[in-house]
């Protein structure tokens, strides 16, 4: 669903041949805005001004509207807001396709694993990973950070074996490749290569070589970042409860 945005713009009229977009190399306010939006979003949209300003006329508070489907939200933040330092938690989803046949429609967004997974064993392993632990065993080799202790607030495995699966990781911070290394390890539990009960020992080892392989990047999606003052359920369109996101397939489809 596209959102409508209202922009308030200031410009020096001397820099533009007026508001209205024109063919050719003429620099206009509307033309520059539309080109920039196309570059970022891939959407060719019309930016509607409150009216045209002629060549040379300035604006202190020109208003414009634009409908965009790809920009999820944009707002004025409190002074000092910093997307990295102000973050309280992040939610990542890793999508697996566990159907017996590779799915071309899902291959770009999910890690395809034809071997039927023991999801209950994976859930048992996941429970041991939740909490504050030293996750060094799951950090990319060669990384250097002050501490490898992180807090995993939630690790949920949704869906059913043999169909689409989603692994949701919510934490206050993540080490490099931590989610993908946890997924790779949990998949080895699901395939029976690794016992579900070995997670505490694996954490205690603090040794990357003891954990599983790094799952591929294309199955991973950053669903949302939460900040102080955000409403409790602040996912974009309730992303973390929407099974259609980051898998291209309803997790409930196995029931149909």
C-alpha closest to that of 71 among 39, 49, 30: 39
Shortest CA distance to 172 belongs to which of 131, 229, 129? Answer: 131
Nearer to a copy of itself, 13 or 161 (CB): 13
Nearest to 225 by CA among 57, 49, 84: 84
CB of 156 vs a copy of itself, minimal distance in Å:
16
Q: How far is the CB of 216 from a copy of itself (least distance, A)?
A: 7
Task: Please state the closest distance from residue 102 (CB atom) to a copy of itself, in A.
Answer: 17
Please enumerate in sequence order all residues whose Cβ is within 8 A of that of 52, keeping only pairs 6 or more positions apart, or say none. Answer: 18, 19, 20
We find the least distance from the C-beta atom of residue 197 to a copy of itself, in angstroms, to be 30
CA distances from 120 to 160, 161, 192, 254 (A): 10, 9, 11, 17
| Closer by beta carbon to a copy of itself, 204 or else 222 | 222
Kindly list the catalytic residues: 54
Nearer to a copy of itself, 43 or 118 (CB): 43
Q: Are 157 and 123 in contact (CB under 8 A)?
A: yes
Q: Smaller CB distance to a copy of itself: residue 17 or 191?
A: 17
User: Rounded distance, CA 209 to CA 212, Å?
Assistant: 8
> How far apart are the C-alpha atoms of 127 and 34, rounded to whole Å?
48
């Amino acid at each position: 669903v596209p959102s409508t945005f209202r922009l308030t713009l200031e410009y020096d009229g001397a820099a533009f041949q007026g508001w209205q977009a024109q063919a050719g190399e003429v620099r206009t306010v509307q033309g520059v805005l539309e080109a920039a939006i196309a570059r970022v979003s891939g959407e060719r949209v019309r930016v509607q001004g409150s009216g045209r300003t002629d060549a040379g006329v300035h604006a202190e508070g020109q208003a414009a509207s634009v409908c965009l489907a790809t920009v999820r939200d944009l707002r004025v933040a409190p002074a000092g807001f910093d997307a990295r330092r102000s973050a309280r938690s992040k939610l990542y989803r890793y999508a697996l396709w566990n159907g017996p046949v590779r799915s071309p429609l899902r291959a770009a967004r999910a890690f395809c694993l034809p071997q039927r997974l023991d999801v209950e064993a994976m859930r048992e392993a996941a429970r041991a990973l939740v909490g504050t632990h030293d996750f060094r065993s799951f950090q990319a080799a060669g990384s250097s950070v002050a501490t490898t202790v992180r807090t995993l607030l939630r690790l949920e495995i949704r869906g059913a074996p043999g169909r689409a699966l989603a692994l949701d990781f919510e934490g206050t911070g993540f080490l490099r490749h931590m989610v993908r290394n946890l997924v790779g390890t949990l998949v080895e539990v699901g395939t029976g290569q690794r016992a579900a009960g070995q997670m505490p020992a694996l954490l205690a080892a603090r040794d990357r070589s003891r954990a599983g392989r790094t799952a591929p990047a294309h199955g991973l999606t950053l669903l949302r970042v939460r900040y102080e003052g955000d409403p409790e359920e602040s996912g974009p369109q309730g992303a973390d409860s929407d099974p259609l996101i980051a898998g291209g397939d309803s997790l409930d489809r196995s029931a149909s």
